[in-house]
Amino acid sequence: VYRGIYCYFAGNEGNAVWCGGSDGILPLGWEWLGYFIAGFTIMLILVNGALLGAAIFVWGERRILARIHKRRGPNRWGPFGLLQPIADLLKLLIKEDLVPTVADRVVFTLVPVVMLMSLLLSLAVIPFAYNTYLADLN
């Protein structure tokens, strides 16, 4: 798949052996854009496939659990319950934000953000592959 996408965009006489002599739509010297577009396309396909799979799994799980618990919501909103996430989003956006009266509102609101950022920053030093990391501590 990667080769087909790359050769469609950047096939030229410089990589004729790899692309089978086909001419791409990008001019000579723009092969880097072909690499970028091919990689981005593959990543987009993989990420969207994973997200779609997760969404289908969650939808099925909610329908099964709603049927077991005899709840109406996840099986009634829209065709086959497909609009239930939109109903949940609207409920979450309309929900009242409760802050204790003795708490500092700014600190109370920022604590979850600070905790999430500290978690994500701790993952920055973990290498993903050989010589691939977000932060070098050496």
Q: Say how far apart CA 100 and CA 128 lie, in whole Å.
A: 42
Q: Say how far apart CA 123 and CA 134 lie, in whole Å.
A: 9
Q: pLDDT higher for 51 or 135?
A: 51
**CB count in 10 Å sphere of residue 33:** 14
- What's the pLDDT score for residue 30? 65
Residue 102 has pLDDT above 80, yes or no: yes
Quote the pTM value: 0.52
**CB count in 10 Å sphere of residue 87:** 15
Q: Say how far apart CA 9 and CA 4 lie, in whole Å.
A: 9
Q: pLDDT higher for 56 or 96?
A: 56
Q: Say how far apart CA 138 and CA 136 lie, in whole Å.
A: 6
Q: Say how far apart CA 46 and CA 68 lie, in whole Å.
A: 33
